[in-house]
Structure 1
């Protein structure tokens, strides 16, 4: 006679190592083929109120919706400090019809008013995807908004997507999702845990396809993985397809079979093409994929959020594949000076500080001849390693492509030295007057004794006789250096210069006061520069 397995609480599983047990709890998430190795395997997470356990289910059967109360049967396995249930075949998970939750369909605004009312509940939400989701991403994140355009949404909620969707879901798609709402203390925000294969797409709802701007290639990372339109001149040479625009670098094109059949007529034509924007890791450049080509070199860049979700949800997947290369889009958290050595830094998920922003330590290889600015967008090919000294995961950057830089912060003299410390090493703007004292230049606040050291660029017009005594907007890098006389740290504005958009030698401040254009070196077109006319009338 076969003994029926005992029902065991999760917090007591350590007493049943290598025994077959039952656990009764709520199904809160699952992922198919977690290693993307082709295994007929599903990992499910069960919460019974005393704890959470992972069920590794080989040759799995049908699954109920998230939030269903289930009974699972499996062997209790313990290995290197980790414990899970392991099962084989259809009988490993059971539930009744009455165990399936009744998930109400809500508007995002309903949840936004009182999210605490739905904490821990299974709910359905209808909304629009903030970004495109690739079909093979086992763990991902996105936001669900109440408007197809991410920037126009009045309400948004974060989603953690478990298990691959099996198909592309375009940014702006209208979808219905079901999951468990919970508050993420680390991120200080509410989050809905959903299953990728259960996302229902409204295929009758039109999707807006963005047209890429050639003059803003540094912002293309925001459209990574999306279906986009690009207009330009197509050239085909030695099997290499490229689309050239009005500015910037050419865009490689991966043609469809229909394109290949029409290559002769398309070559040299001005054309508008539609495809998926992907990053080519082999050439570190953007490509327009028109043929849904499958290649390890072609990726839709991930966000830092996506990597952290993978690390949190299943760290063994990451650290068991130490050579796996990921392509991520991120922002520099702090400015990083040029160096011949490898340097430690941080990637973050937003251009500037926001409550709950996400960051991760990275090592960026040297040598580098230029600054990486705080808030600068970057696209990087990275591997993930464990930092024993600091007991944390970190990214090792193998290839880094710089993107758009953040606009300089304008500093106010009244903010004080402590607040200025948050912008140390950054490019900043300060309104001030240049003065010389015993051979040393300072930038001073007009009408006060406050001043900082001024290290101007060569041939800086702000220090010539025409501009001395005038308060102007200066731009430079805010550094903190040691003052050998006072043994104190003092601020200096390094590589500083004043605004002169048209490079006519007359600052924008004087042009504004004089009534000439800062965008035209000869405003009245008489052949005499604005600077010379200012001198003549002074």
Structure 2
């Protein structure tokens, strides 16, 4: 009897080891926690090493029609194209309310040639004409990518256009790139991509989700290499990560290479091995060099990387959208690594005044309001002596942190480089106080008549009782005898201040002045009415300034 019992136990153990796992629907996985199961479905997305931590891991999403499940695949094998019908085998894991299938080894995913998707090859214009026709479908497109993609970016965004130049494109479609491409893809490259087309409600636009390693680059197609303009260094951020040309005077001092141009700050150069052998020949010479434009966080400056050096301080800046995408896709992973630094380009959502203390603000993904405008809270280190303007472009070295007080993720800024500022907004008296509130703390322009009441200056609308407090610059010509009584356009910062007399909050135009482009002491408004040029101090060249000629005519 004892021998029979041992035989039965051994038989059951053998059966448990060799039996084929059950094929289950994703909707029923909760009944199979900690069991090995088989799931058959469609591969709709995957990403290698999702946290850029060096793990030999691939995360995939499988859809069987009853639901979707994540496959965490360690030591993975080959991966088929998106849209392939696959069979996966693994353990059902349930941890803190999250469920996934965990597998190890190349045999965890299988498919046959008949399971591969039949993907239509379309033109971007085909999708533009009737995108609903392809909603949720796997399609293949050929076009030109809008920006350079670094080889190690696990989540990225770009646009695919029908022309390499943005201004010449008839159609463009947004792409979300999952998993690193493992190679540099230059902006303007001709590529073929395959992915799932879907409508993004937040962005109010159509999006193509593609896999980075599956992007096919046409290396035979020529790429336009931009030439950097020294006079427009604030626009270099738009070329970040691209291969660029730059001409200047090369200086080499104690191993430090720098290019100096006609304007702006010098550009550091990271030489290649071949360049080092030419150091003595090139030093002090005017030269044109080609390399990748990267941001050096160690010195907070742009560099031309010719050597392909792998350094944590060198990075191709990404847009704030890329970081927001990563936070949205996996906030826990981003927050669990607070020491990882990201270099992003973004826009200030609101103006931030000078301060000796750290200040709170917001980064946005566009300079002004657009449908789907996205922003994230940031902490800006002090002290700062100048305003950060709403809509101003910035480059920031940031880390991701958790704000316990407000229960949200935020960015801690470690270094901030200011870029272009928005042009001042022109206010109209007819807009009213409520509408003006959207431009509070911004630099604005307002046409009005300067009047003094009991020692206090106001800017009023001619012919009405509407007025705002006016605090002009100390050297403003707008309040001298020559200009008083003339309605002119003033430029200043619109603030809300407390009026102690009326116990109300009123608007004030601070640090205000009138336009005087040629600095001849005669405002542009009076120059236009007098018939002189606002671009020349002495319009007729007779040796007498325009201001003096205007005075002589009075």
**Counterpart in the other structure of 2:445:** 429
**Counterpart in the other structure of 2:282:** 266
Change (3 A) 1:295 1:406: same
CA distance in 2, matches of 1:351, 1:64: 40
Query: Is 1:120 equivalent to 2:136 in the alignment?
Result: yes
Query: Is 1:376 equivalent to 2:392 in the alignment?
Result: yes
- Could you tell me whether the CA contact under 8 Å between 1:187 and 1:358 is conserved in 2? no
Cα distance, 1:427 vs structure 2: 0.6
CA distance in 2, matches of 1:161, 1:495: 47
**Counterpart in the other structure of 1:86:** 102
CA distance in 1, matches of 2:374, 2:261: 35
Match of residue 257, structure 1, among 258, 267, 273: 273
Match of residue 481, structure 1, among 473, 480, 497: 497
Q: Please list every run of 5 or more consecutive structure 2 residues that lacks an aligned counterpart in the other structure.
A: 1-14
Cα distance, 1:36 vs structure 2: 2.7
Task: Render the CA deviation track for 1:296-340: whole Å, top value 9, x for unaligned.
Answer: 110001111111221222334312311111111100011111122
Match of residue 361, structure 1, among 374, 377, 392: 377
SS in 2 for 1:329: strand
Cα distance, 1:526 vs structure 2: 3.1
Match of residue 294, structure 1, among 310, 316, 328: 310
SS in 2 for 1:389: coil
**Counterpart in the other structure of 2:27:** 11
Per the normalisation by structure 2, the TM-score is 0.94
Task: Render the CA deviation track for 1:328-354: whole Å, top value 9, x for unaligned.
Answer: 110001111112222221111111111
Task: Render the CA deviation track for 1:75-129: whole Å, top value 9, x for unaligned.
Answer: 1122333322111112211222232221111122221222111111101111111
SS in 1 for 2:422: coil
- Could you tell me whether the CA contact under 8 Å between 1:360 and 1:395 is conserved in 2? yes
Query: Is 1:277 equivalent to 2:300 in the alignment?
Result: no
**1:60-459 to 2 correspondences below 5 Å:** 60-459=76-475
Looking at CA atoms only, which structure, 1 or 2, has the larger radius of gyration?
Answer: 2
Cα distance, 1:517 vs structure 2: 2.2
Higher mean Cα deviation, 440-449 or 232-241? Answer: 440-449
- Could you tell me whether the CA contact under 8 Å between 1:304 and 1:358 is conserved in 2? no
Task: Render the CA deviation track for 1:127-182: whole Å, top value 9, x for unaligned.
Answer: 11111000111111111112211233232211110111111111111111100011
Q: Please list every run of 5 or more consecutive structure 1 residues that lacks an aligned counterpart in the other structure.
A: none
Query: Is 1:25 equivalent to 2:41 in the alignment?
Result: yes
**Number of corresponding residues:** 538
Cα distance, 1:294 vs structure 2: 1.0
CA distance in 2, matches of 1:151, 1:445: 41
Cα distance, 1:388 vs structure 2: 3.2
SS in 1 for 2:238: helix
Cα distance, 1:10 vs structure 2: 2.5
**Counterpart in the other structure of 2:485:** 469
SS in 2 for 1:186: coil
Higher mean Cα deviation, 371-380 or 66-75? Answer: 66-75
SS in 1 for 2:377: strand
SS in 1 for 2:232: helix
SS in 1 for 2:197: strand
Deviation >4 Å, runs of 4+: none
CA distance in 1, matches of 2:53, 2:497: 54
Cα distance, 1:387 vs structure 2: 2.4
SS in 2 for 1:382: strand
- Could you tell me whether the CA contact under 8 Å between 1:430 and 1:473 is conserved in 2? yes
Higher mean Cα deviation, 217-226 or 508-517? Answer: 508-517
SS in 2 for 1:492: strand
SS in 1 for 2:23: coil
Cα distance, 1:70 vs structure 2: 1.4
Match of residue 60, structure 2, among 44, 68, 82: 44
- Could you tell me whether the CA contact under 8 Å between 1:34 and 1:317 is conserved in 2? no
- Could you tell me whether the CA contact under 8 Å between 1:183 and 1:191 is conserved in 2? yes
Cα distance, 1:461 vs structure 2: 0.4
**Counterpart in the other structure of 1:58:** 74
Task: Render the CA deviation track for 1:17-61: whole Å, top value 9, x for unaligned.
Answer: 211112222211111122333332211111223332211111211
- Could you tell me whether the CA contact under 8 Å between 1:124 and 1:179 is conserved in 2? yes
Per the normalisation by structure 1, the TM-score is 0.97
RMSD: 1.5
CA distance in 2, matches of 1:389, 1:178: 43
